[in-house]
Chain A
């Protein structure tokens, strides 16, 4: 599904990713763990093309996404990402946050998108927040909404950057079940974490990153 070859990323002369190669098959659930500053977030951001690597190749679904004629937006629609900062759109309600992309990008009928969104909100136990603005949610609720927002695009791959950093135990169990179901339904997952207990409970493969290298 994703093949990363000899990826190098440099920030101001500092090599953050150093010759990273990994092959991830369809419906695998790979979690990358390692100390803070190891380059985990940077690696995910490169997969999603939020950062341009200095060298190396990323092949996604048979397409080299680093080539200049690749449609970045299309790639991102198929490869969702939940960022570490999970920035919800502050000017939209929870419902609008999660239905904006499917309605505008996938051209889903609004009713269908709203129904799907409500189902997911219910599943995460935050259905009553449907019309709240993000500023009135707790950190954990915000993270859940960010996850739902990514799920709503039904991507082939989801990148999770520290998906449980703000969640309490109950919510972690919810996210764990969702991630497991996603894997079962054929979605490929790449995540980062420093909470190895969560990662172990969902991952089909764990890889360690240290100092910008996979070990």
Chain B
């Protein structure tokens, strides 16, 4: 036991490993959030093309292109995608990682959204068109909001995968948690850096899923409370 504490003390404190660890922790979170935002934007745009084609038959060529894009990004390892991005353009590791994970995640997000659009009754689209909304507005105002709401659990899942996937960002020189663990391992020749980093990943995904679940429940509860209040008092506005 004292052997282990000695090793940890030596690497983390005496050689100031904790600074690298904290920095990598922060960078991993920032990278995940940036990639998730990019992924959401890309995913919504891609899904929009596919859904618009499905409902109105427009944008046939774009629809084909999106299908190819999604297949390529889902069909190849994200590590290779990072390497391609990194060698194609001479960008900073940050940019390469954000672009790589963002586009990869975007492909998955678009599939998630497309599936949840399929769950929205097509009569919703029709009744928006009946009111005089263009097909574009009907999708944006009526269909997509419902689809996004339906897809929250799956998107959450995707976010948690993304946190863990960022562990391969080291291949393009990004100092992520896993990368720091590797360095610490070579300094100590022990397993504990990997376990320690694993625990950090685990805590983050746990916090994220619990936190978002709580937000979702709070939103639902607030909606019901507001409705009850209106029903009881008859005061709407």
User: Which residues of A pack against B, CB within 8 Å?
Assistant: 48, 50, 73-74, 76-78, 80-81, 83, 85-91, 95, 100-101, 104-105, 114, 118, 127-128, 130-133, 136, 149-150, 153
Cβ distance B191 to chain A, nearest Cβ, rounded Å: 49
Given the known inter-chain contacts A73-B133, A128-B231, A153-B131, please indicate yes or no for A114 contacting B237, CB distance below 8 A.
yes
Size of chain B's interface in residues, with CB distance under 8 A? 26
Which of A85, A91, A130 lies in contact with B123, CB distance below 8 A?
A85
B133 touches A105 (CB 8 A): yes
Q: Judge whether B132 is part of the interface by a CB distance below 8 angstroms.
A: yes
B132 touches A83 (CB 8 A): no
From 106 to 153 in chain B, residues with beta carbon under 8 angstroms from any chain A beta carbon are: 121, 123-124, 126-134, 137, 141-142, 145-146, 149
Given the known inter-chain contacts A91-B149, A131-B236, please indicate yes or no for A80 contacting B230, CB distance below 8 A.
no
Q: Judge whether B226 is part of the interface by a CB distance below 8 angstroms.
A: yes
Q: Judge whether B227 is part of the interface by a CB distance below 8 angstroms.
A: yes
Which of A48, A86, A90 lies in contact with B146, CB distance below 8 A?
A90
B236 touches A83 (CB 8 A): no
A91 touches B146 (CB 8 A): yes
Q: Judge whether B211 is part of the interface by a CB distance below 8 angstroms.
A: no
Given the known inter-chain contacts A114-B237, A128-B231, A131-B226, please indicate yes or no for A101 contacting B146, CB distance below 8 A.
no
B227 touches A132 (CB 8 A): yes
Residue ID in chain B nearest A79 by CB atoms: B132
In the A-B complex, the 8 residue pairs with the smallest Cβ-Cβ separation, listed nearest first, are A77-B132, A130-B236, A76-B132, A101-B131, A87-B123, A87-B127, A91-B146, A131-B230
Which of A74, A89, A127 lies in contact with B127, CB distance below 8 A?
A89
A83 touches B127 (CB 8 A): yes
Give complex CA distance A88, B142 in Å: 10
Contacts of B121 in A (CB 8 A): 87
Give complex CA distance A130, B231 in Å: 9
Residue ID in chain A nearest B121 by CB atoms: A87
Contacts of B123 in A (CB 8 A): 83, 85, 87
Which of B126, B133, B141, B236 lies in contact with A50, CB distance below 8 A?
B126
Which of A50, A74, A95, A128 lies in contact with B130, CB distance below 8 A?
A50
Q: Judge whether B234 is part of the interface by a CB distance below 8 angstroms.
A: yes
Give complex CA distance A74, B129 in Å: 10
Q: Mark B201-237, 1 if CB is under 8 A from A, else 0.
A: 0000000000000000000000100110011001011
Contacts of A48 in B (CB 8 A): 130
Given the known inter-chain contacts A114-B237, A128-B234, A131-B236, please indicate yes or no for A89 contacting B132, CB distance below 8 A.
no
B132 touches A74 (CB 8 A): yes
Cβ distance A190 to chain B, nearest Cβ, rounded Å: 14
Give complex CA distance A127, B137 in Å: 28
Residue ID in chain A nearest B123 by CB atoms: A87
A83 touches B230 (CB 8 A): no
Contacts of A81 in B (CB 8 A): 130
Cβ distance A72 to chain B, nearest Cβ, rounded Å: 8
Give complex CA distance A127, B142 in Å: 23
Contacts of A74 in B (CB 8 A): 132
Cβ distance A182 to chain B, nearest Cβ, rounded Å: 17
Which of A90, A127, A149 lies in contact with B124, CB distance below 8 A?
A90
A128 touches B230 (CB 8 A): yes
A101 touches B236 (CB 8 A): no
Contacts of A85 in B (CB 8 A): 123
**A73-B133, A81-B130 provided; 9 other pairs, C-beta below 8 A?**
A50-B130, A73-B132, A80-B130, A87-B121, A91-B149, A101-B132, A127-B234, A130-B230, A136-B227
| Highest count of chain B CB atoms <10 Å: which of A50, A77, A89, A104 | A89
